[in-house]
Amino acid sequence: MTPLLLVSFALAEEPAAGAPVELTVHGNLKTFVLGGKPHQWFEFSDGAETLLGSLGVDPDEALDAYGLAADPFAEGVASGRLQVGVSYGAFRLDLHWAGSAASSAPSTGAAGFGTGVGLTAPELVPLSWSPDTGSGVTLRHRIDRLVLSAKLPHLDVALGRQAVSFGVGRFFTPLDLVSPFGPATIDTEWKPGVDALRLDAYAGMATKVTAAAAWAGKPVFGDDARDEGRPVLDDLVLAAFAQTTVGVTDLGVFAGDVRSEAVFGLNAVSALGPVGVHAEASLTLPNVDDPFVRAVAGADWRPGDQTTLTGEVYAQSFGATKPEDYLDALDSPRVKRGELWEAGQLYAAVAVAQEITPLVSGNVAVISNVRDPSALLSVAIAWNVADNADVALGAYAGLGAAPDPIALDFALDPNTGAPSLAAPTDAALSDAVNSEFGLYPAMGFVQAKAYF
């Protein structure tokens, strides 16, 4: 426990004699079934097909043998979360275990796709583990919350693993710099916890200043997330965010030292008649590369009691201007650690949420790279089948020019003359990309959730 937290706790009013200890236990169980069809990235060149033909080998079977065939995939995922909370006066301890079992390793979400369960977040203190099942099932366990907090007069203090969010963006989140969700994360119910010390100081009704120190190294699972040779403190996110309300407008100012880079930001949320509007911008000053700006502006409107429209436009000076540079952008440390997911520079998004019945809601969203042009379409229907049970059905589809198949050749061993498959060059991979969201395969899912 840090001295700061000790001092804060000392400032807290002592719980009244006989103050009850409150224990709350909740949790959930979820199951997913996913299926889709990835893009066919590879094919054999004419010469390679001739060679395979001379050997009596079917090219499709050869692709399959090399693991390069774009076969349809299906995956089953089961997950659970147990939430235990203990409160005593002004103090509270939260402990959440989250576990998942999948027929393959869940996506990290860094590239945008993910179920949202079994997510990996940076861990200064390793509290994730994946036992060897000796089968094709991947088991993951994580302590996703372990946070001690105190609610003091005008001050909240929290130390430990907790969710940390900044910003007001819906699809695009320039100020949410710690483990934001990707654009195609199916289940965004729980934001992964990170190891942090957080202070929220309040003045008046709606003025607050948040100061947080969160560790945000590599999002690897069940392993030491610290980069060898890189000082641990270099991966800290030190952030200060001040917010106040003027009339019906919330205004916020952000300043931070994010992984040793200075980041500044502004945001605002207000209303223009019945339309809610929001805007946010950040300026990042890297130590080596050029400064870059990220900015989003959006609106929410309910044209009827059952319909909600949301739209956003987003621009960033980080990112590629040409499709052949997207893979480099996606391979950048910023994308890999989940700081951002956009490979391009100019985007627009719109979503329609429709209450079909009081228990059934539909959601259609389109996130578009305006310059490609390409888009990610998502459609989902959720049914509240009981007080504590939901079923959801949905699909994602990348709309835009799919990558061109890369022609693979066989290289002959100069000593033995035996043919071996030549790995595609980075340039060939990059040149194959035609649009950002054209990279996304089509995918569908069914999800069932139960809570207790």
Residue 284 as a binder of another protein (CB under 8 A): the answer is: no
Show the binding pattern over residues 372-411: x = contacts another protein (CB under 8 A), - = does not. ------------x--xx-x---------------------
Of the ranges 241-249, 257-265, 342-350, 369-377, which one interacts with another protein (CB under 8 A)? 241-249
| Contacts (CB under 8 A) with another protein, residues 91-130 | 92
Q: How far is the CB of 149 from another protein (least distance, A)?
A: 9
* Contact in structure between 338 and 116 (CB atoms under 8 Å): no
Residue 115 φ then ψ, to 5°:
-75, -25
Which residues make Cβ contacts (< 8 Å) with residue 294, sequence separation at least 6? 172, 174, 281, 282, 284, 314, 315, 316, 317, 318, 340
Q: Which stretch binds another protein (CB under 8 A): 42-50, 103-111, 268-276, 405-413?
A: 268-276
CB nearer to another protein: pick between 113 and 190: 190
- Residue 207, classified by CB atoms within 10 Å of its CB into exposed (0-12), middle (13-18) or buried (19+), is middle
Cβ proximity to another protein: between 136 and 274 the closer is: 274
Q: Is 322 left (phi over 0), alpha (psi -120 to 50) or beta?
A: beta
Asked if residue 276 binds another protein (CB under 8 A), the reply is yes
Burial state string for 364-396 with b = 16 or more CB within 10 A and e = fewer than 16:
ebbbbbebbbbbbbbebbbebeeeeebbbebeb
Q: Say how far apart CA 374 and CA 238 lie, in whole Å.
A: 35
CB of 183 vs another protein, minimal distance in Å:
16
| Minimum distance from residue 114 beta carbon to another protein (Å) | 15
Q: Which of 408, 420, 440, 429 is nearest to 49 (CA)?
A: 408
Single out the residue of 202, 264, 292, 410 in contact with another protein (rule: CB under 8 A): 202
Q: Does 357 bind another protein (CB under 8 A)?
A: yes
Residues 325 and 333 sit within 8 Å (Cβ to Cβ): no
Which residue among 190, 318, 347, 396 contacts another protein (CB under 8 A)?
A: 190
The answer to whether residue 288 forms part of the interface with another protein (CB under 8 A) is no
Virtual torsion, Cα 226, 231, 235, 241, nearest 10 deg? 150
**Span of 2-10, 101-109, 125-133, 202-210 interacting with another protein by CB under 8 A:** 202-210
Tell me, what amino acid is at 96?
H
Contact status: 187 vs another protein (CB under 8 A):
no
| C-alpha torsion angle, residues 442, 107, 427, 437 (rounded to 10) | 30
**What is the closest distance, in whole angstroms, from the C-beta atom of residue 305 to another protein in the complex?**
4
Q: Does the protein bind another protein through residue 13 (CB under 8 A)?
A: no
Give yes or no for a cis peptide into 373 (omega within 30° of 0).
yes
Q: Which of 4, 19, 21, 206 binds another protein (CB under 8 A)?
A: 206
Q: How far is CA 208 from CA 168, 211, 278, in A?
A: 15, 10, 18
154 binds another protein (CB under 8 A): yes
31 is a contact residue toward another protein (CB under 8 A): no
Exactly one of 248, 255, 285, 446 binds another protein (CB under 8 A); that residue is: 248
Pairing of strands 91-102, 21-37: unpaired
The count of chain residues that interact with another protein, using the rule CB under 8 A, is 55
Q: Is 26 in the site for another protein (CB under 8 A)?
A: yes
**Is residue 302 near another protein by the rule CB under 8 A?**
yes
Pair of tokens at residue 295: 């900015």
Q: Which one among 288, 305, 416, 417 touches another protein, defined by CB under 8 A?
A: 305
Nearest CA to 242 out of 259, 258, 262, 266 is that of 266
d(CA 223, CA 226): 9
> From the CB of 30, what's the least distance to another protein, in Å?
11
Please, which residue, 244 or 332, has the CB nearer to another protein?
Answer: 244
With CB under 8 A as the contact rule, the residue among 39, 151, 336, 371 that binds another protein is 151
Is 28 one of the binding residues for another protein (CB under 8 A)? Answer: yes
Q: Does 37 bind another protein (CB under 8 A)?
A: no
Tokens of 18: 């006989």
Strand partners, 104: none
User: E-strand spans in 217-371?
Assistant: 236-246, 249-258, 261-272, 275-285, 292-304, 307-316, 346-357, 360-369
Rule CB under 8 A: say whether 153 interacts with another protein.
yes
Contact between 11 and another protein by CB under 8 A: the answer reads no
Residue type, 116: G
Burial of 136 per CB tally in 10 Å (0-12, 13-18, 19+): exposed
Among 86, 95, 271, 293, binds another protein (CB under 8 A): 271
- By CB under 8 A, is residue 163 in contact with another protein? yes
Q: Which residues of this protein are in contact with another protein, per CB under 8 A?
A: 24, 26-28, 92, 151, 153-154, 156, 162-165, 168, 188-191, 200, 202, 204-206, 208, 243, 245, 247-248, 250, 269-271, 273-276, 278, 300-302, 304-306, 308, 355, 357-359, 384, 387-388, 390, 449, 451-452
